[in-house]
Amino acid sequence: MPEAMDASPGAAAGGLAGRLWRGLRLPLGDPLAVFGLMIYVLFILTAVFADQLATHDPTEILYTPDYDLAADRRPGEDGYILGTTSLGRDIWSQLVYGSRSALLIGLTAAVMVALIGTLVGLVAGYFGGWVDAVLMRLADIAFGIPFLPFVIVLSAFLEPSIWNVVLAMALVLWRDTGRVIRSQVLSLRTRAYVEAARVCGSSDLKIVFRHIAPNILPLSFLYGSIAIGWAILTEASISFLGFGDPDTISWGTMLQDAYASQALSTRAFHWFVPPGLCIILVVVAGFLVSRGYEEILFPKLKE
Amino acid sequence: MTETILDIRDLAIAYRVAQGEMRAVDGASLAVPAGTITGLVGESGCGKTTLARALTRVMPGNARLAGGQALFAGRDLMTLPEAEMNRLRWREIAFVPQSAMNSLDPVYRVGTQLREVLVGRGGMDRRRARARAEELFGMVGIEPRRLGDYPHQFSGGMRQRVAIALALALGPRLVIADEPVTALDVIVQRQILDQLLELQKGLGLSVILVTHDISVVAYVCDRVAVMYAGQVVEAGDVRTVLTRPAHPYTMGLCNAFPHLDGARGVLTPIEGAPPDLLAPPPGCRFAPRCPFAVDACRRQAPPVQAIGGTHLAACHRIAEAEALRARAARVETWAAMAETVA
Amino acid sequence: DRIRELKLITRPQAAQPSEFQFAQIIAQEWRKLGLDVKVEVMPWEQMADVVWYNRDKWDMTAWQMVGRPERSDPDELLYNLYHSSTSAKGYNFVGYSNPDYDRVAEAQRREVDQEKRRALVFRAQEILAADQPVMMLVHPRSTFAFDKTVWDPASVVNQGGIGIKNFWTFVSIRPLGGQRDIVLNSSDNVQGINPLWISGGTDSWITELVWDRLLRIGPDGLPRPWAAENWEWTSPTSITVTLRPGQVWHDGKPLTAEDVRFSFEAAMGGEAPMYAPFVRNIAAIDVDGDRITFTLKEPSAAFLTSTLAKINLIPKHVWEPVLADLATREENAESHQEKMPIGSGPFRFVSWTTNEEVVLEANRGHWSAPAADRWILRIVPNAEAALGMLRSGQINFLADFPGDPKVLVDAAAADGDLEVVSTTDIGFRYVAFNNRRAPFGDPAFRRALSSAVSRELIVKAAFKGFAEPSNSIVSPALPFWHDPAVDNMPTGLDLARQILSEAGYELVGGKLHYPDGVRETLAE
Amino acid sequence: MSGPRAGVPLIEAEDVAMHFRVGSALSALVGGRPALVRAVDGVSLTLMRGESVGLLGESGCGKTTMGRLLLRLLRPSAGRIRFDGEDIAALSGAGLRRFRARAQMIFQNPFEALNPRFTIAAALAEPLENAGIPRAEWAGRIERAMELVRLPDPGQFLARRPHQLSGGQLQRVVMARALLLDPDFVVADEPVSMLDVSVRAGVLNVFREVRARLGLTAIYISHDLALVRYVCERTVVMYLGRVVEDGPTEAMIEDPLHPYTRALVAAVPTPDPDQSHAPLPIGRGAPDARNPPSGCRFRDRCPLAHDRCAAEAPRPTRIGARTVYCHLHG
Amino acid sequence: MSGMRQIAGRLAQLVFVLWAVATILFLMFRLMPGNPLAAYIDPTFTEEQQRILMARFGLDRPLWEQYLIYLANLLRGDLGDSFFYRQPVFDRIMELLPNTLVLTFSSLIIAYGFGIVVGAWLAWARGGLAERIVIPVVLTTRAMPEFWLGMVLLAIFSFWLGWFPAGGTRPPGAEYDSLLALYASRDFLSHLALPVLTLAIYSQGLPLLLMRSNMLEVMREDFVTMARIKGLPRWRVVVLHAARNALLPVATSFAIAVGYQIQGNVVVETVFSWPGLGRELVNAVSASDYPLAQGAFLMIAAVVVVMNLIADLLYGILDPRVSHA
Ligand SMILES: Nc1ncnc2c1ncn2[C@@H]1O[C@H](COP(=O)(O)OP(=O)(O)OP(=O)(O)O)[C@@H](O)[C@H]1O
Ligand SMILES: Nc1ncnc2c1ncn2[C@@H]1O[C@H](COP(=O)(O)OP(=O)(O)OP(=O)(O)O)[C@@H](O)[C@H]1O
Ligand SMILES: [Mg+2]
Ligand SMILES: [Mg+2]
């Protein structure tokens, strides 16, 4: 009996970190999702140890003492692992540092989208009334804003920076998360156990955090992991269109650089394929993880 | 007596699940006389739907025939080639599902769904199909002009009538109705049952009516079979089974129902829960909940025995039925089990 | 005082890869002198806003002057870029001010005697070389290509300082086979097709072909007769031209001297502000039959190049009502896009599809009718696609190649059907110092920075060798005006350090400091 | 807890109405009237202390809504509800917390009434924590409540999660949770309709017992007259958001006054093979809460309806201990 | 009746959203530091000339007045004059919008046709090898940056194989009587092929996955089981019952996808030199042509909002549960 009691309200408290970790409910049951998580880990490690992995400063223009640019080196040539760009920068180092921007953009965007969307959804769904009305009208507006054009316009005003993508996502893309979570909250709110919590005197705050939030967290993570991919793809598109930040090495700017330098014509596959692959891998990883969450959320899909 | 239209013998159906194979129906036997309504009762999960669906041979992907036969007019439905089975479906054997809302395709008008069956399965031309559809609607008491409506435009009771009309469309010999009134209010339920009775009598249909409500059985059925944990434990004509049950489970079931008139006596629950079908107990499956269980019950499965006429039961103490019935009427008999099964 | 962090503005890599690249290199080198240099990237519009309109707010900027035929005369560059009178508002955005230089620049513009003027132009180049108001980098080589299986290479004209993409080529280029359309590309959109509006660079290719001018700058860089048969200076301020007979507008009406007068007056009126500077010197225009006499306010050596070879001849019967209408409204002629532009040039307008193509056809009735049938300009926004289209035959004249010239040359070598021609340009690239602002007010400091960077490195690293190192704003492509004495400026970090220390600058703790007693004062 | 004092009203509902707006607010703005569902439309109801009342009616007639109104889970569109003399709409803060401790609910679907992520112990601790009961008392209270609902050996359940219990057990846990704080008033919303017949009786018995032992005031919501009869002495029959008949259960079954009640009584099937097959005294058709008929709501299905039924809504008529809303008795 | 009311409500919402977007845009463009016309004022201009130019675009008035004029003009369909072209923005946009729409719709129709069929088939063949191969491939196509995919297709099919032209909508100098004649021509189709292929490859994933999961869900529904119990032919069950129902949300998603696609076109139009609205927006933003950028943005937003509305209405039309409520 006493030990059963320990397992009880403790399960509801138990430290924020622990609760978050449990809230994460990493989709470890699904092999594809695990594969996605492994890709994440790989890229996170690369980003963390970028300084050790990179062989050069990714933006340094490399030239020989007699003023010959070390440009267009093929992989392996002169010790450049993936060769150099036609402006004389080391591709391998750029790729390695690119993972940092990707991680930065991806994670912050994911956190923004998930956090804002979740808060909006929770507040609108649970409290309803005019708060809901205002928030949902804002969501309507956000749904009316074409995203990529918005990022373009935004980058034109602010200094070119990878944060523009994050900012735009925070300003616009919470809408999907917000709406889905709101409708989820609306349905959770009428669940008998939420009603039961009210009958037994739980405050709104307690109900939201104890009974509702834990059930929508996986949904937030689902949207968060999709947002990672979106952010990275958007950053790449923006860079490709020339609105990127030239001082920050990202896979998008690398692709743009390659494209502007006609890597296609010169068949410099070693230049434009790796960043493309990295983008695809990370984005696919996001999809796989989000599918893992989907199966947690809607287990009927499995059967 | 009358001829038997359906003879189910030792039927077993198994589901593949994560933990292994579960026999949802495990050696069930049942004879359905032609032109009667046979009730199939039992608590949730005892395999009623599984049995009923098996007769159509449209089963979930993880289901498998694990033995037995179902002879329909002499032919074994379980081994019939698929093409031939498909010819039988709906023309000979029709089905009324529990939830008519979900069983009607929401995107087609009900008239279209009737026509699909009449034309596609009945081979009628469109004009005849139209006339027949109107006739069917008349039979179940819905105005023919509502053929043009969509399912969601009907109330629950009317949908159930539509489902009955659909089942009767091709003049089948056997109608299997899986809990056709469970989700309905009492008044509507009564109206549907009246309708069903009237049609059955008028058309001379044979009906298998699946339900968990003994009152419904008492109201419409000629015969009844009681299922427990995948097996038919008692069968016979309604009056006999309900007034002189021979199996302790049936006795318990009858005691658990509140009556509207008569003494406001105490209801008696059957303590405990049905067995886990993945690992059913040896011997009689009801033994763990049975206040009359003896050692033999726990060791050996009782055979189905005839008590008289068509009354059958599977119980080791069938000879003492009379005495047991008397004991079963007392609350204490069952309450004593509460401690044992918990 | 320690020298503050200096900011070098450049355009983004996507827009200007070589500029971006040389800015990076230069900053990388200057840091070795003990300076803090930050490269700031901004798009052209923002850069223009800062540099033109906030003249005391910036330190240094990468800049570019493009080669236009009328810049074949050195006057525009010498006077406008560095004369102190244009410092407040005009082209002298660097704020260079030197009375000696002003005198020389004024003198050359009035001097009608070629030889004497040449000496003055040389003198001006030498003063600039000594003062280094800007850090001259290179005259790039403009590189174009065409399909030599379609066009006869002998019929392609290479205009000095401009390259093979020029008026003369388009008029004379000769098809070898059945493909008789010039299909060329541009990476910029066409803004308008308007003889009274100097819009985008690409637009001028079209206006040049559709509208004739009295004179045209020849492949040799000198003005030659065109719609005017000849010209004659009757006094230092008066010039008479005779119209070539038999010219007609594309709509069939004859071209008269009245039309010519109308064209110049249209530019002098308020409705075509961008042409106004070119006709500001005209005091009067008199018409006498086929002869038109221009009376100038003051002598001008560059009048032929910058005015007579510049103003488009427009039909009075088309434009007179238009201009009268515009005079009553806020819009000016720049907003008037003719549905069917009418000129008298060797090509006639056919169609314009936004962001896609402009089609002109040969004006067979022209006295100098082109050999090709049509001139089709395709808008291809990026180099990769342009090159691919050239190789696959979807275009046959590569008129705009923002990409890496080396890739083009390699591609041509591999292909065999393509001919690539590169020509040293009139235009040039440089880094402008803001002369108004410390520490750039000190010529020694400017000289030191300028000599710190090897131009060879710039040529190789930023231009892939497709540029000529330069220390003069007058291109070597104009041999008559270019002063060879200023070429070959010595460079090197050691030299730069020497200049700095001679001028009193000191290195303290690895950072460069002003000479003793000099304090940094900025008028913000 | 004060003992039951018969004859003292605990709950008084006066002319309570609950109208749900369906459809979006914006379309209402543009198109005028929004669609209204009159789930409860003018119900007056008084419950004495210790009294248990069955709330009977077909699906959608507003039973659950009424129950939720009484517990202040909804705020009525009109009318007033007093609990122990206090208007519950005015409650807030500590007053509301006290009310929450005194008025409890037992839910229809025990599988949903407990948060699947909580252990049974955590679920049971929640009301105690909210009521500010000292932690030391929790175990004792929980044990007592579990005993009340006849869950022998509670220790074996506490660490489990809901899906590891059977329906009957779960429903008893839900009851235990409702009884933890010694409430005065309990609303049971069809507590056995999701349960299997064989276990139903057990839960009903517990409910009857607990009510009697604690002197609870209770409302038992159901659409099954036989069940109501089993647990309640008094029954209120609702039809389309209104009360049609109110009185002692036995009398109602013996002699239903309202035509609807009559049909209801006739329709209830019994496990008796000899029951009557006489046609039901009611027309076909389905009630629609969005467009209820004028006057008496039952008139379009009523075999005895006459002109007056369409014209005016029937007023309550008292006949002994019973009240009926029908013009036939007016 | 209530249907009309609902449409009226949604229209009001649409107008509200467009107004909000227009206002946000206005504020963004006007509150930006610096002279909006900087890029278009030649330094040789006199003060007077500059003033005239400012007045020409109404930039000399106070902000609120500009805003009111802007709104009033919007109502009249007047999006102002482009700085870059010195022409009415509306005309430019109307010239480019059809190209963008053709690209969007043709690619989506292909993507949806393919996605629906393959998605349904995958649901049918659930759990098989096909699923294990196709799904990762589909996910990968959605993860590819569109421009990257476009570049690769361009390199292969245009530059190397020479099967398709690399850009534009028509062969050089080709003339057509009308836009329709152009769109109906073979030349146009060959120009359309690569950008459409790029977009279609990118977009097919959504309908495919959606169709598959809907199908899986619908196949579990009672009415599908019932159709089988009725002894209906297998194809009828799968196509007329399962697929027909699974199609509902997919069809609705089409309209929403149009909205999404039209935003994404920005990139593909740039790769394939496609004279459409997206590329014009990029040009306008790069050229600081605010009126044009604003107009193009608004037009795209309008398409998005209208498509969202159509999605709603479509749902109502296609799903009898809503339309016949
Ligand atoms: N597709 C399936 N896969 C695995 N197990 C199943 C499946 N369908 C049913 N079962 C299990 O088989 C047993 C019998 O189910 P069945 O639906 O036949 O019972 P039932 O008597 O109809 O119950 P109810 O009264 O609830 O409808 C149950 O334990 C059920 O959980
Ligand atoms: N939150 C709500 N919003 C809109 N309508 C509602 C809401 N809650 C209930 N209703 C409607 O109010 C009416 C009464 O509902 P209520 O749940 O009270 O009925 P009930 O008698 O409990 O029915 P049941 O026996 O099916 O539980 C129904 O028509 C229902 O659809
Ligand atoms: Mg069943
Ligand atoms: Mg209810």
Q: What is the pLDDT of residues B147-204, one digit of tens each?
A: 999 988 888 888 888 999 999 999 899 999 998 888 788 888 898 899 899 999 999 9
Task: Please give the order of strands across the beta sheet that includes B63-72.
Answer: B20-33, B4-17, B63-72, B75-76
Q: One-letter amino acid identity for E100?
A: T
Contact flag A152-E285 (C-beta cutoff 8 Å): yes
Domain count across chain E: 2
Q: One-letter amino acid identity for C157?
A: V
Q: Are residues E194 and E227 in the same domain?
A: yes
- Cis peptide upstream of residue C402 (ω within 30 degrees of 0): no
By C-alpha distance, the chain A residue nearest D112 is: A192
Chain B residues lying within 8 Å of E247, measured CB to CB: none
Contact flag D197-B155 (C-beta cutoff 8 Å): no
- Bridge partners (DSSP) of residue C146 are C397, C419
Question: Are the beta carbons of A11 and D122 closer than 8 angstroms?
Answer: yes
Cα distance between residue E284 and residue E292, in whole Å: 6
Domain ranges of chain A: 17-51+88-298
Cα distance between residue B316 and residue B334, in whole Å: 19
pLDDT in tens, C65-109: 888 777 888 888 888 889 988 888 778 888 899 999 999 998 988
By C-alpha distance, the chain B residue nearest E319 is: B107
**CATH for D1-8+49-75+90-232?**
3.40.50.300
Contact flag D168-B187 (C-beta cutoff 8 Å): no
Cα distance between residue C500 and residue C495, in whole Å: 9
Please report how the helices C17-30 and C455-463 are oriented relative to each other, as an axis angle in degrees rounded to 10: 140
pTM score of the predicted model? 0.84
pLDDT for the residue D30:
46
pLDDT for the residue A1:
35
pLDDT for the residue D27:
45
By C-alpha distance, the chain B residue nearest E246 is: B107
Tokens standing for residue B178:
């899986």
pLDDT for the residue A70:
75
Point out the residue among A71, A247, A260 whose CB comes nearest to the CB of C14. Answer: A260
pLDDT for the residue A10:
38
Chain C residues lying within 8 Å of A244, measured CB to CB: 14
Residue B40 C-alpha to ligand 3 middle, in angstroms? Answer: 11
Residue B326, judged by CB atoms within 10 A of its CB (0-12, 13-18, 19+), counts as exposed
Rounded to the nearest 5°, which phi and psi values hold at C500?
Answer: -65, -45
pLDDT in tens, C401-432: 888 888 888 888 888 889 999 888 888 999 99
Can you tell me which residue has the tokens 């390199």? E155
Contact flag C277-E44 (C-beta cutoff 8 Å): yes
Residues within 5 Å of ion ligand 4, judged at the Cβ atom: D 64
Mean pLDDT of C271-286: 87
Mean pLDDT of B237-265: 86
User: E68: which residues sit within 8 A by CB, 6+ positions away?
Assistant: none
Percent of chain C whose pLDDT exceeds 70: 99
Report DSSP state, residue B147. Answer: G
Q: Are residues E107 and E70 in the same domain?
A: no
Percent of chain D whose pLDDT exceeds 90: 44
Residue C198 C-alpha to ligand 2 middle, in angstroms? Answer: 73
In a domain, residue E81? The reply is no
Percent of chain C whose pLDDT exceeds 90: 37
pLDDT for the residue B261:
73
Q: Are residues E66 and E133 in the same domain?
A: no
pLDDT over threshold 80, residue B264 = no
Cα distance between residue D105 and residue A195, in whole Å: 9
Q: One-letter amino acid identity for B328?
A: A
Mean pLDDT across chain B = 89
Q: Which domain range does residue E274 map to?
A: 96-318
Q: Are residues E153 and E294 in the same domain?
A: yes
Spell out, as residue ranges, where chain A has pLDDT lower than 50. Answer: 1-14, 301-303
Atom of ligand 2 lying closest to residue D64 CA:
22
Q: What share of chain D is helix, strand, coil (3-state, %, to 5)?
A: 40, 25, 40
Mean pLDDT of C111-138: 90
pLDDT for the residue B300:
92
Closest by CA position to E89, among listed E298, E304, E305: E298
Closest by CA position to B106, among listed C478, E241, C220, E306: E241
CATH topology of domain B4-92+172-341: Rossmann fold (3.40.50)
pLDDT for the residue E27:
86
Tokens standing for residue B77:
């439905």
In a domain, residue E70? The reply is yes
State the CATH number of the domain containing residue E312: 1.10.3720.10
Per-residue model confidence as pLDDT tens for chain E (325 residues): 456 777 787 888 888 999 999 998 888 877 766 666 766 666 666 677 777 777 777 777 888 888 888 888 888 888 888 888 888 889 889 989 999 999 999 999 999 999 999 999 998 887 778 888 888 899 899 888 988 899 888 888 888 888 888 888 888 888 888 888 888 888 889 999 999 999 999 999 889 988 998 898 888 888 999 999 999 998 889 989 999 899 888 888 888 888 888 887 888 998 888 999 988 888 888 877 888 888 999 988 998 889 888 888 887 777 777 666 5
**Dihedral sign for Cα atoms in the order C359, C363, C369, C372:** positive
- Chain D, window 54-73: residues with a beta carbon less than 8 angstroms from a chain B beta carbon: 58-59
Please report how the helices B126-139 and B156-168 are oriented relative to each other, as an axis angle in degrees rounded to 10: 130
Question: Are the beta carbons of C378 and C185 closer than 8 angstroms?
Answer: yes
As separate numbers, helices (DSSP H) first and strands (DSSP E) second, chain D gives 13, 12
Cα distance between residue D252 and residue D256, in whole Å: 5
DSSP assignments along B29-71, one per residue: EEEEETTSEEEEE--TTSSHHHHHHHHHT---TTEEEEEEEEE
A130 touches chain C (CB under 8 A): no
- Chain C, window 33-62: residues with a beta carbon less than 8 angstroms from a chain A beta carbon: 39, 41-43
Largest Cα–Cα separation, chain B: 67
In a domain, residue E325? The reply is no
Question: Are the beta carbons of C432 and C93 closer than 8 angstroms?
Answer: yes
Can you tell me which residue has the tokens 């276990």? D199
Quick count: other Cβ atoms within 10 Å of Cβ C95? 21
Question: Are the beta carbons of C182 and C209 closer than 8 angstroms?
Answer: no
Point out the residue among C13, C383, C464 whose CB comes nearest to the CB of A257. Answer: C13
Band the pLDDT of D3: cuts 50, 70, 90.
Answer: very low
Element holding C6 (H helix, E strand): strand C6-10
Length of chain D: 330
pLDDT for the residue E213:
87
The subunits that touch chain E, with at least 3 C-beta pairs less than 8 Å apart, are: A, B, C, D
pLDDT over threshold 50, residue D29 = no
Report DSSP state, residue B229. Answer: T
pLDDT for the residue B19:
83
Mean pLDDT of C249-263: 92
User: A15: which residues sit within 8 A by CB, 6+ positions away?
Assistant: none
> Strand, coil or helix: what is D279?
coil
Mean pLDDT of B273-286: 89
Query: ipTM, 2 decimals?
Result: 0.82
Atom of ligand 1 lying closest to residue B50 CA:
18
The subunits that touch chain B, with at least 3 C-beta pairs less than 8 Å apart, are: D, E
pLDDT in tens, A118-156: 999 999 999 888 888 899 889 989 988 888 888 888 887
Contact flag D138-A196 (C-beta cutoff 8 Å): no
**Final residue belonging to a domain, choices E75, E110, E127:** E75
Domain ranges of chain B: 4-92+172-341, 109-169
Chain E residues lying within 8 Å of C52, measured CB to CB: 38, 41, 43
Atom 12 (ligand 1): residue with closest C-alpha?
B24
Element holding D56 (H helix, E strand): strand D52-56
Instruction: Find out whether the beta carbon of D63 lies less than 6 Å from any atom of ligand 2.
Output: yes
Chain D residues lying within 8 Å of B217, measured CB to CB: 271
Instruction: Find out whether the beta carbon of B48 lies less than 6 Å from any atom of ligand 1.
Output: yes
Residue C132 — left, alpha, or beta (φ > 0 → left; ψ -120 to 50 → alpha)? Answer: left
Chain E residues lying within 8 Å of D35, measured CB to CB: 2
Length of chain E: 325
> Strand, coil or helix: what is D33?
coil
Closest by CA position to A246, among listed A136, A84, A114, A87: A87
pLDDT for the residue B181:
86
Element holding D40 (H helix, E strand): strand D35-48
Residue D64 C-alpha to ligand 2 middle, in angstroms? Answer: 7
Rounded to the nearest 5°, which phi and psi values hold at D9?
Answer: -70, 135
Half-sphere exposure of E119 (CA within 13 A, CB side): 27
Tokens standing for residue D106:
């037992």
**Strand residue runs (E) in chain B:** 4-17, 20-33, 37-41, 63-72, 75-76, 93-96, 174-178, 206-211, 223-228, 231-237, 304-308, 311-314
Chain E residues lying within 8 Å of B107, measured CB to CB: 244-245, 248, 318-320
The CATH superfamily assigned to A17-51+88-298 is MetI-like (1.10.3720.10)
By C-alpha distance, the chain E residue nearest B172 is: E230
A197 touches chain E (CB under 8 A): no
- Chain B, window 116-135: residues with a beta carbon less than 8 angstroms from a chain E beta carbon: 116-117, 120-121
Instruction: Find out whether the beta carbon of B45 lies less than 6 Å from any atom of ligand 1.
Output: yes
B147 touches chain E (CB under 8 A): no
Mean pLDDT of C188-194: 88
Question: Are the beta carbons of E99 and E183 closer than 8 angstroms?
Answer: no
